[in-house]
């Protein structure tokens, strides 16, 4: 059994104890060490070489943000931010991920007496998935490297696929783009969304797993530097070309055809306790596939689990198109892997090639 060492960084002895007890609930995880501030964290990362780090944001002497920047300079260990502050200022969480953090969690969600078991389980599973992926990268244990030559071949394969004209243009194949992602998603989205041109002719709907309250801040942040208008999706929104919609956390977002022929969004609470993710990529894709049929493109980026698998199955059932992110650029190769191994992906490419692959369709 593979085991992964976690460095716990927090200025509170009580928090370090609670976080440590939480981590060691999973037999595959163990506390490799502790640090009381950012300065100690930098020293311990180099000395202990943990598989993953949990980092508090607010600490004396050196805060978590500063320590994160320094750690990213000296090694590639994944860092997950834990904080009580991000619920008040989600911009802190997004700033941390821009600096290199792979994910963030609110301490209140994990360490309170009434913490939901599914949330705690999800946290531990993410720790293991991120650590496993990072160790695999450091050991060079990839099953297949995708170089520029193989990427060119895969893109050429798309050009030869049914329904796509190579001359004079390959565009205008789809009328809607849906992007699904989870762990590592905000950084992946930042490598993609800002680079859509102002003349993009299709709506873009993003399904990103996040805590409630964060998707509005995410949309507002992207709206400041994207060429396209970005907003958090609201119940009753009509999909408009050249606009990016971020599905709100805590709800399920589905599509429906209005009497006037336009497509609208329903944003509703989900009462199905079996559905862990709110929003769920599966639920959104399942509603979109019968509406757009072969005119739908689904893109599955980094993320843990298999949300998107059943949705992509529906997309392909209606002759739509699917792109997935390749293993070597994923923070966690879970969601894309599930779709790829099920034979549902038209193409699998690393993150730097995702945008060009999308542009073949839109």
The model's pLDDT over 262-277, given as tens digits with 9 standing for 90+, comes to 999 999 997 676 788 9
* 307 flagged as catalytic: yes
- The CATH topology of domain 148-359 is Rossmann fold (3.40.50)
Residue 112 scores a pLDDT above 70: yes
Half-sphere exposure of 14 (CA within 13 A, CB side): 3
Q: Is the dihedral of CA 67, 69, 70, 72 positive or negative?
A: positive
What is the Cα gyration radius of the chain? 21
Both tokens of 217, joined, read: 């801040």
In the chain, list all ranges with CATH 3.40.50.2300.
4-138
* 353 flagged as catalytic: no
State the catalytic residue, choosing from 26, 51, 182, 237.
182
pLDDT of residue 65: 93
State the catalytic residue, choosing from 26, 307, 346, 357.
307
Lateral strand order in the sheet of 321-325: 229-232, 243-246, 204-208, 176-181, 296-300, 321-325, 347-349
Q: What is the mean pLDDT of residues 69-74?
A: 94
State the catalytic residue, choosing from 209, 280, 329, 346.
209
pLDDT of residue 170: 55
CA distance 295 to 273: 32
pLDDT digits (tens, 9 = 90+) for 285-344: 999 999 999 999 999 999 999 999 999 999 999 999 999 999 999 999 999 999 999 999
In the chain, list all ranges with CATH 3.40.50.180.
148-359
Assign domain 4-138 to its CATH architecture.
3-Layer(aba) Sandwich (3.40)
CB burial readout 62-84, b (16+ within 10 A) else e? ebbbbbbeebeeeeebbbbbbbe
CA distance 61 to 8: 17
Residue 14 scores a pLDDT above 50: yes
Q: DSSP H helical segments within 226-342, as ranges?
A: 281-292, 309-317, 335-341
- Element (H or E) spanning 26, and its range? none
Both tokens of 139, joined, read: 């050991």
Q: What is the mean pLDDT of residues 53-69?
A: 93
pLDDT digits (tens, 9 = 90+) for 82-96: 988 665 667 788 888
CA distance 236 to 224: 24
* 321 flagged as catalytic: no
Residue 158 scores a pLDDT above 60: no
């Amino acid at each position: 059994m593979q085991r992964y060492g976690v460095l716990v960084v927090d200025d509170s002895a009580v928090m370090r104890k609670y976080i440590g007890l939480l981590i060691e609930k999973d037999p595959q995880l163990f506390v490799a060490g502790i640090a009381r501030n950012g300065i100690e964290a930098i020293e311990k990362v180099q000395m202990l070489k943990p598989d993953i780090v949990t980092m508090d944001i607010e600490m004396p002497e050196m805060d978590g943000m500063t320590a994160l920047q320094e750690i990213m300079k000296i090694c590639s260990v994944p860092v997950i931010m834990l904080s009580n502050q991000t619920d008040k200022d989600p911009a802190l969480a997004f700033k941390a991920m821009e600096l290199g953090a792979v994910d963030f969690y609110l301490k209140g969600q994990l360490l309170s007496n009434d913490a939901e078991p599914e949330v705690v389980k999800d946290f531990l599973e993410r720790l293991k998935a991120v650590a496993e992926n990072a160790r695999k990268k450091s050991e060079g244990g990839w099953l297949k490297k995708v170089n520029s030559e193989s990427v060119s071949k895969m893109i050429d394969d798309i050009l030869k696929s049914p329904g796509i004209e190579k001359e004079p243009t390959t565009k205008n194949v789809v009328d809607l783009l849906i992007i699904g992602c989870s762990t590592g998603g905000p950084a992946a989205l930042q490598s993609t969304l800002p680079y859509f041109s102002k003349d993009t002719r299709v709506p873009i709907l993003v399904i990103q797993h996040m805590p409630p309250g964060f998707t509005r801040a995410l949309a507002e942040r992207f709206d400041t530097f994207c060429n396209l208008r970005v907003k958090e999706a609201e119940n009753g929104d009509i999909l408009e070309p050249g606009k990016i919609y971020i599905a709100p956390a805590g709800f399920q977002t589905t599509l429906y055809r209005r009497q006037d022929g336009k497509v609208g969004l329903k944003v509703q609470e989900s009462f199905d306790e079996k559905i862990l993710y709110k929003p769920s990529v599966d639920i959104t894709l399942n509603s979109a596939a019968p509406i757009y049929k072969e005119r739908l493109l689904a893109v599955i980026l980094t993320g843990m689990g298999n949300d998107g698998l059943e949705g992509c199955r529906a997309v392909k059932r209606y002759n739509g198109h699917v792109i997935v992110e390749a293993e070597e650029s994923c923070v966690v190769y879970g969601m894309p892997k599930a779709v790829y191994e099920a034979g549902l992906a038209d193409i699998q490419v690393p993150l730097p090639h995702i945008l060009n692959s999308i542009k073949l369709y839109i």
